[in-house]
Chains A and B, each alone.
Chain A
Amino acid sequence: AQKITQTQPGMFVQEKEAVTLDCTYDTSDPSYGLFWYKQPSSGEMIFLIYQGSYDQQNATEGRYSLNFQKARKSANLVISASQLGDSAMYFCAFSIYNQGGKLIFGQGTELSVKP
């Protein structure tokens, strides 16, 4: 069965420091994509970063980077130089390429950035 797990229900980080949000997944399919989304209290899902299963290098998007360890089936999100506006729920998700692209989401991690 395909599954994705976020083991940190809540995290705190000091403003301007880096933080890592954990994500592990389980699939036997070799072709998949990994995603991170941010959901502020307003409710919209904001795309942050994508990593394809065949990508050799870790993805980066500005202050976001994805630490992709394929053998361990982990896809941790690293946010550098945290800002107060980073406080939100963060969801890890993956989709199998030949299964229509539907996203399977983790339970989420609530990040709080302290001033």
Chain B
Amino acid sequence: DTGVSQDPRHKITKRGQNVTFRCDPISEHNRLYWYRQTLGQGPEFLTYFQNEAQLEKSRLLSDRFSAERPKGSFSTLEIQRTEQGDSAMYLCASSGAGLGRGLNEQFFGPGTRLTVL
């Protein structure tokens, strides 16, 4: 297993365009998380899935954002009508079942850096 992967690594788009990011978690992990990190800040939670069910969405996730995890495997995060304020690093993480560290330790992907011009 090669860990969590994200695609693309970088995305430059014009304001108003739609973008979609993909995350492939570690295969046996049933939880998948999306975070957003702006320059100089810590990551902020956006949403998470347990298997295919989206269980929580942050208030940061406006109506322009949608996330899916069909069949409980990979996940996509789509941003519609992008704005300059959406420019950030979008991080995906996954974690497995179990107690304590096993449940809560999250493994992060390399991130997708979005620039909205």
**Which A residues fall within an 8 A CB radius of B?**
33, 35, 37, 42-47, 50, 52, 91, 93, 95, 97, 99-108
Contacts and interface: CB of A to CB of B under 8 A. Distances in A.
A106 B42 CA distance: 6
Nearest to B49: A100
Given A44-B111, A45-B91, A50-B101, A101 B42 contact: no
Contacts of B91: 45
Interface residues of B, number: 29
Contacts, number: 69
Interface in B84-117: 89, 91, 93, 95, 100-101, 103-111, 113
16 contacts: A33-B101, A35-B106, A37-B108, A43-B110, A45-B43, A46-B108, A47-B106, A91-B43, A97-B103, A99-B56, A100-B31, A100-B50, A101-B48, A103-B93, A105-B43, A106-B42
Interface of B: 31, 33, 35, 40-45, 48, 50, 55-56, 89, 91, 93, 95, 100-101, 103-111, 113
